[in-house]
């Protein structure tokens, strides 16, 4: 079996060279355990802060059970498992759960729109952003794993949704595939672009980006605006801590929330139902950024952590 | 009549020398107007950002009507009026309203615990801080006009209330007169003092202070904590903008609100009723920092803006 190990503690944004793919023998199977072959591995930003020299990065995956010594789990079954960045591994049978997705959806949806990024977006949408019809919602990373779902949920709720993007390709994806009403480009000129795209101010903002984007949005909040702090990408990469201007919070009498998805697992069923229905009806698109082969996991992760991904980052392993 | 004028645009914290007291003739009274003699003038921090060279600072007051050409207002009546820092002035009769305070309370309570600072504290308490019995609440300026009321409301709600203070005198006032469970001193050592005073973390924080206090509190929030940004004193004095660490908001999954009292005037009746009852029952103290004579208004304001006041700052004018 193959696995990825950290060979250099990354400084700032991780580079593909910070990792190595190595061959290791498979472990023996103890009573109660199952051997799973990873089919699709999920790469997630929160892994960045937990990278340890010599260790295999954490990751969950859609995997196929290839051998089982657990009576509740059958070989051939597709499950969700915490496998790490491996092609195959041994886990307790009690730690895996069956994959369920709506008819017609790929199993990988369980890692994206129906998985943790989707639940993050759903919880931010219903608990923090709460957009009313006609409201202006800004999504900090329009085409990312979380942002793509949040933007579509806000659009379905009747909001005018403006996405922050970093490239022309993402701008096109955001408006053509995800239904954003408008997009603005990160970097110089963002402030003016936000004024043009949000003439009535910004009623809700999902922060998934950098300090400059946060500052630009905060200055243009409308009164009573809601802000959900979700991904602090610069902080994950070890740069200066993100800071919020308190004066902007006061001027807008804004409500600012910190979003950590583990607080919102009570919404998991509602999320699966609602997003599953939207997916089945074609009202919500699962935007995936897929890479073929475990050896591309370091490249895919480096792209994710520098914001160059388009949609949920997945690695097809076998 | 006397009035105070701004003679130097203050740089940073205002000094008494930035103002002058001058004698001016009284204005003639037009139809519909009333002449009021200021009895007690309220000094408020928000005036700081509106100081203009050569102008009379804004301020509201309990005043006595000494002459009336408005049928609805009688001479001899005590009213609330926007007088500015003056001993006497002419205002439209329609712009004054009668002072009402509970039996036994001084009229000046209408400027403090029953006035704007009291409403600010009440709104922050019921809408942002929402302390449950047993919760730990930190008040950023324990003995100030807003903080003193907010601290007492939290104590009445069953919270353990910890006040941030800047002097021994205030520490004594906070615990002995206002019923704070504990106090911590601003400055070096604040972080450790907060840990000692709040062993279970901080569930709610009313920010009325400086950047260092905000940072120290934010690092010690418990999960689900609520923060109300009320007074940004450093910003009012023109120093660097206050900033909130986004990582701390996320770690605590905190809910941060900007408090501007004008959004909460719908609570005015409820506030007057509730705080009036507590005042009448002796469960809430109106802490006042009084100065005798309009010529002391600049000194009183400088003390207020450097955080050296104890309670609501009032100037007895005649």
Q: How far is CA A151 from the centre of its chain?
A: 13
In B248-287, the residues whose Cβ lies within 8 Å of chain A are: 249-260, 263
Beta carbons of A244 and B241 less than 8 Å apart: no
In which residue ranges of chain A is CATH 3.40.50.720 found? 116-263
Beta carbons of B258 and A241 less than 8 Å apart: no
Given this model, what pLDDT does residue B236 score?
65
- Pick among B251, B258, B263, B266 to test the A interface (most A CBs inside 10 A): B258
Map chain A to HEC letters. CEEEEECCCCCCCCCHHHEEEEECCCCCCCCCEEEEEEEEEECCHHHHHHCCCCCCCCCEEEEEEEEECCCCCCCCCEEEEECCCECEEEEEHHHCEECCCCCCCCHHHHHCCCCHHHHHHHHHHHHHHCCCCCCEEEECCCCECCHHHHHHHHHHCCCEEEEEECCHHHHHHHHHCCCCCEEEECCCCHHHHHHHHCCCCEEEEEECCCHHHHHHHHCCEEEEEEEEECCCHHHHCCCCCCEEEHHHHHHCCCEEEECCHHHHHHHHHHHHHHHHHHHHHCCCCCCEEEEECHHHHHHHHHHHHCCCCCEEEEEECC
- B72 pLDDT above the threshold of 90: yes
Beta carbons of A232 and B246 less than 8 Å apart: yes
Contact indicator for A234, A211 with CB cutoff of 8 Å: yes
Contact indicator for B4, B298 with CB cutoff of 8 Å: yes
Given this model, what pLDDT does residue A11 score?
83
CA distance B258 to chain A (A): 4
Beta carbons of B250 and A256 less than 8 Å apart: no
Mean pLDDT of chain A: 94
Out of 3.40.50.1980, 3.90.180.10, 1.20.1250.20, 1.10.540.10, select the CATH number for domain A2-112+288-316.
3.90.180.10
pLDDT in tens, A136-163: 999 999 999 999 999 999 999 999 999 9
Six-digit token string for B90: 């002419």
Closest Cβ opposite residue A244 in set B223, B243, B253:
B243
Closest Cβ opposite residue A253 in set B252, B255, B258:
B258
- Pick among B120, B243, B257 to test the A interface (most A CBs inside 10 A): B243
Contact indicator for B248, B221 with CB cutoff of 8 Å: yes
End-to-end CA, chain B: 11
Given this model, what pLDDT does residue A241 score?
86
- B3 pLDDT above the threshold of 90: yes
Residue with tokens 């069956």: A98
Provide long-range contacts, Cβ within 8 A and 24+ apart, for A167-172. Answer: A167/A308, A169/A310, A170/A142, A170/A143, A170/A310
A232: which chain B residues are within 8 Å (Cβ-Cβ)?
246-247, 250
B246: which chain A residues are within 8 Å (Cβ-Cβ)?
207, 214, 229, 232, 235, 241-244, 258
- A120 pLDDT above the threshold of 80: yes
Map chain B to HEC letters. CEEEEECCCCCCCCCHHHEEEEECCCCCCCCCEEEEEEEEEECCHHHHHHCCCCCCCCCEEEEEEEEECCCCCCCCCEEEEECCCECEEEEEHHHCEECCCCCCCCHHHHHCCCCHHHHHHHHHHHHHHCCCCCCEEEECCCCECCHHHHHHHHHHCCCEEEEEECCHHHHHHHHHCCCCCEEEECCCCHHHHHHHHCCCCEEEEEECCCHHHHHHHHCCEEEEEEEEECCCHHHHCCCCCCEEEHHHHHHCCCEEEECCHHHHHHHHHHHHHHHHHHHHCCCCCCCEEEEECHHHHHHHHHHHHCCCCCEEEEEECC
**pTM of model > 0.80:** yes
Mean pLDDT of chain B: 94
Q: Whose CA is closest to B45, among B195, B180, B210, B202?
A: B210
B214 touches chain A (CB under 8 A): yes
Confidence band of A46 (pLDDT split at 50, 70, 90): confident
B245 touches chain A (CB under 8 A): yes
Beta carbons of B251 and A258 less than 8 Å apart: yes
- B229 pLDDT above the threshold of 80: yes
B127 touches chain A (CB under 8 A): no
Percent of chain B at pLDDT exceeding 70: 98
Q: Which residue of B has its CA nearest to A236?
A: B247
A212 touches chain B (CB under 8 A): no
Residue with tokens 């809910």: B255
Beta carbons of A255 and B254 less than 8 Å apart: no
Question: CATH classification of B2-111+288-316 is 3.90.180.10, yes or no?
Answer: yes
Closest Cβ opposite residue A235 in set B229, B247, B254:
B247
CATH number listed for the domain at residues A116-263 = 3.40.50.720
Cα distance between residue A229 and residue A218, in whole Å: 12
Beta carbons of A250 and B229 less than 8 Å apart: yes
In which residue ranges of chain B is CATH 3.90.180.10 found? 2-111+288-316
Given this model, what pLDDT does residue A234 score?
59
Given this model, what pLDDT does residue A233 score?
63
In which residue ranges of chain A is CATH 3.90.180.10 found? 2-112+288-316
Given this model, what pLDDT does residue B201 score?
97
Closest Cβ opposite residue A258 in set B241, B253, B257:
B253
Mean pLDDT over residues A196-220, rounded? 95
Closest Cβ opposite residue B250 in set A232, A245, A254:
A232
Cα distance between residue B114 and residue B108, in whole Å: 9
Six-digit token string for A5: 């190990």
- Phi and psi angles of residue A297, each rounded to the nearest 5 degrees, phi first: -60, -45
pLDDT in tens, B174-223: 999 999 999 999 999 999 999 999 999 999 999 998 899 999 999 999 99
- Phi and psi angles of residue A153, each rounded to the nearest 5 degrees, phi first: -65, -40
A185 touches chain B (CB under 8 A): no
Given this model, what pLDDT does residue B210 score?
87
Given this model, what pLDDT does residue A50 score?
87
- A33 pLDDT above the threshold of 80: yes
Given this model, what pLDDT does residue A68 score?
97
Cα distance between residue B185 and residue B147, in whole Å: 15
- A237 pLDDT above the threshold of 80: no
Contact indicator for A231, B250 with CB cutoff of 8 Å: no
Mean pLDDT over residues A12-28, rounded? 94
A223: which chain B residues are within 8 Å (Cβ-Cβ)?
263
Mean pLDDT over residues B226-243, rounded? 80
- B12 pLDDT above the threshold of 90: no
Q: In the Cβ-directed half-sphere of A44, how many Cα atoms lie within 13 Å?
A: 22
Given this model, what pLDDT does residue B235 score?
61
Q: Which residue of A has its CA nearest to B248?
A: A258
Confidence band of A236 (pLDDT split at 50, 70, 90): low
Residue with tokens 């859609």: A62
- CA torsion, ordered B164, B168, B173, B175, to nearest 10 deg: 60
Q: For residue A80, list its beta bridge partners.
A: A62, A97
Cα distance between residue B202 and residue B160, in whole Å: 10
Distances (CA, A) of A260 to A112, A226, A313: 16, 16, 19
Given this model, what pLDDT does residue B231 score?
77
Q: For residue B249, list its beta bridge partners.
A: none
Percent of chain B at pLDDT exceeding 90: 87
The CA-CA-CA angle for residues B36, B38, B41, to 5°, reads 140
pLDDT in tens, A288-318: 999 999 999 999 999 999 888 888 999 999 7
Given this model, what pLDDT does residue B234 score?
59
Given this model, what pLDDT does residue A243 score?
92
Confidence band of B170 (pLDDT split at 50, 70, 90): very high
B259: which chain A residues are within 8 Å (Cβ-Cβ)?
250, 253
Q: What is the CA radius of gyration of chain A?
A: 20
- Lowest mean pLDDT, pick from A93-107, A136-150, B234-248: B234-248
Q: Which residue of B has its CA nearest to A207?
A: B246
Six-digit token string for B161: 């209330």
- B316 pLDDT above the threshold of 70: yes
- A224 pLDDT above the threshold of 80: yes
Q: A–B: how many Cβ contacts below 8 A? A: 92
Given this model, what pLDDT does residue A102 score?
85
């Amino acid at each position: 079996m193959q696995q990825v190990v950290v060979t250099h503690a990354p400084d700032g944004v991780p580079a593909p060279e910070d990792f190595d793919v190595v061959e290791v023998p498979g472990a023996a199977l103890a009573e109660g355990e199952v051997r799973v072959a990873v089919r699709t591995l999920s790469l997630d930003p929160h892994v960045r802060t937990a990278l340890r020299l010599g260790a295999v990065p954490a990751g969950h995956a859609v995997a196929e059970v290839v051998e089982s010594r657990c009576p509740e789990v059958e070989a051939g079954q597709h499950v969700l498992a915490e496998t790490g960045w491996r092609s195959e591994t041994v886990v307790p049978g009690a730690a895996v759960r069956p994959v369920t997705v709506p008819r017609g959806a790929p199993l990988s949806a369980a890692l994206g729109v129906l998985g943790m990024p989707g639940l993050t977006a759903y919880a931010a949408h219903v608990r923090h952003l709460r957009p009313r019809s006609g409201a202006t919602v800004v999504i900090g990373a329009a085409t990312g794993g979380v942002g793509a779902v949040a933007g579509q949920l806000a659009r379905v709720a009747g909001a005018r949704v403006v996405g922050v993007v970093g490239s022309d390709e993402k701008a096109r994806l955001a408006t053509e595939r995800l239904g954003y009403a408008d997009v603005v480009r990160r970097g110089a000129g963002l402030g003016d672009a936000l004024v043009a795209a949000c003439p009535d101010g910004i009623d809700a903002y999902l922060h998934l980006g950098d300090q400059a984007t946060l500052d630009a949005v905060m200055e243009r909040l409308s009164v009573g605006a809601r802000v959900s702090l979700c991904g602090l990408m610069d902080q994950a990469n070890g740069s200066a801590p993100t800071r919020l201007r308190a004066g902007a919070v006061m001027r807008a009498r804004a409500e600012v929330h910190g979003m950590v998805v583990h607080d919102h697992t009570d919404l998991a069923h509602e999320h699966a139902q609602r997003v599953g229905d939207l997916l089945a009806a074609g009202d919500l698109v699962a935007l995936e950024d897929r890479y073929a082969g475990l050896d591309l996991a370091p490249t895919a992760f480096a792209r994710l952590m520098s914001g160059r991904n388009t949609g949920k980052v997945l690695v097809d392993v076998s």
